[in-house]
Structure 1
Amino acid sequence: MKISDLLERFKDRKLNKINLVYGRELLLIDQVVDAFKDLAKGSMPDFNLTLIDGQETNLESLVSAIETLPMMSDRRYVLVKDFELLQAKRRFFNEEAESELIRIIENMPDTALVLFASYGEVDTKRSKLYKSISKLGDVSVMDKLDDMDLFKWCKEAFEKNQVQANNSELVYFINLVGYKDRKSSVTLADLKNEIDKICAYIGKGKVLDKESIDKLLTNNIEDNVFKMIDMIGTKNTKMALSLFDDMLYSGGSILGTFSLLSTRFSQILQIKALQDTKLSFDSIKATMGLQKFVMNKLASQSKNFDEESIRAIIKSISDFDYAIKQGKMSDRLAAEILIVEACNK
């Protein structure tokens, strides 16, 4: 179940009696936990909300929390974090205790509302408790957001920092940060850190711009992309592939690299077109709004490419980007083919 659907159930108070959320997106789990606590606010939470550390509790405490009747309310709320019976390693609970807890859950009173929240993966293959919850209640995996939810999440994150993020800049940021790469370890927590950093730099009440994103997010990637363009321009396939491997090893994003390569080759194409009009170096720099270092680098690299090869490379980047996002090709294979083909154009 997607987090948006789950939160809608919270809003409508249509939750199942027993629920489990788990996964790698800790911020989303926190959001669900906060929504669960909010449900209890109108029902004397000091008496009717029980918070349990699943690594420290025992069977008696957990059963007591579930079976105790609510006080002056129709519901008692029980939140259990990181319960060990949902994980592979166990210290305090044996199979007998697990079977007893399952029996309690199967006969749980209608007055109880239980949420198990596991910050990470759970043992879906061997945990009998997991299988019981899956059968009796609702299980939601907090994993990577899809494109639309990710876009909405990032936009709201910028708005919370009182920074306006227009669509084009937001898409640029998302592509560059590398979250959408299937094999990427980047989480929403990482995105939040980057968004907070960019917003602190821009300032409240300002508008997100690509220059700020580049300045704060792409320094190391930028250097490697410039070097890669150099290697492509000099037909040094081996060195270009080596630079690509270095970028991946240091946590670089393939889709983010594609986005930056496309941007830089588009700028090289524009520089060549403006040079044909006999504009001066300073006039071209001012027209394109580039920093002097970037303008110097791109102007130098433009000498290694003709217009036809640049357009072909830009089209290849777009085609491979689409193939990756559609699941038609692995991101690494696409990147390696792109580099080899670009070096031979």
Structure 2
Amino acid sequence: MMTQNDPHKICLIHGNQLLLVEETANTLIDQRLEGREQDWSLERFNAQEMLKTIGESGKNSIDDLLISCETLPMLTDRKVIRIDNFELIKKAANKSDNSQAVRLFEALENIIKNPPESLWFVFTSPAMREQDFSKPLYRSIKQGGGRIQKFVAYDNSTPYNWVIQRGEQKGLPLTADVARLLINIVGNDLTDLDHELEKLSLYLSGKTVSEEMIK
């Protein structure tokens, strides 16, 4: 059970392995909201939507975020706020800029440095490198004891062990040769591999999969 003094009030989960980013973010949210109704205690925002310059949707989203951060949770003792595409939130080059980007950056800079007692934050991003993020925001998360976790697959990476373990979870025993063949056919993106393993498990669950079965 998480405590109110959990050290990771701020979490940043990022990388191009989007399946692992999503699963990790969901796990962190579930841990922090254990025993609580997520309809009341979870709010989700997207930086890309908030930074739209056409129409009122971006402005309204930022207003909604600021209100969420400034008000106490209703019908629960804590709330998690998730923000996707966190890498898009950057400090404006022009100090006189009064745009939505400035409002969003300054609000998050203050929140990360001094998060409200009843709020937890989970940021996600497909960005692969530290340099892809706002340096002040990334540094504040790191120096403030926040959790930063990266899931990156490079072009030459081969997730054999992950495929075998995932297959076992789905009742699909795989040999190293079969895992290698599946990766050669599908590629190394874990989301694509997971979809293929799910399809195989529907037809072959509990059976040992041979190379001939997937060719």
TM-score, with length taken from structure 2: 0.70
Does 2:181 correspond to 1:176?
A: yes
CA distance in structure 1 between the partners assigned to 2:104 and 2:113 by the alignment = 14
Alpha-carbon contact 2:128-2:150 (below 8 Å) kept: no
* Residue 114 of structure 2: aligned partner: 107
Alpha-carbon contact 1:21-1:139 (below 8 Å) kept: yes
TM-align CA RMSD: 3.3
Q: 1:154 Cα shift?
A: 2.4
Alpha-carbon contact 2:12-2:149 (below 8 Å) kept: yes
Alpha-carbon contact 1:87-1:123 (below 8 Å) kept: no
Alpha-carbon contact 1:23-1:120 (below 8 Å) kept: yes
* Residue 131 of structure 1: aligned partner: 139
Out of 75, 83, 89, the residue aligned to residue 80 of structure 1 is 83
Aligned amino acid, residue 158 of structure 1? G
Counting only pairs closer than 5 Å after superposition, residues 1-345 of structure 1 correspond to structure 2 as 14=6, 16-39=8-31, 40=33, 42-57=35-50, 58-83=61-86, 84-85=88-89, 93-95=100-102, 97-121=104-128, 124=131, 127=134, 128-136=136-144, 137-144=146-153, 151=161, 153-165=162-174, 169=175, 171-178=176-183, 186-200=188-202, 203-213=204-214, 216=215
Q: 1:113 Cα shift?
A: 0.5
CA distance in structure 1 between the partners assigned to 2:69 and 2:76 by the alignment = 15
Q: 1:207 Cα shift?
A: 1.5
CA distance in structure 1 between the partners assigned to 2:182 and 2:138 by the alignment = 34
* Structure 2, unpaired ranges of 5+: 51-60, 93-98
Number of residue pairs matched by the alignment: 188
Alpha-carbon contact 1:67-1:108 (below 8 Å) kept: no
Higher relative contact order (CA 8 A, sep 6+): 2
Q: Would you tell me which structure has more strand in proportion to its own residues?
A: 2
Helix, strand or coil: the match of 1:114? strand
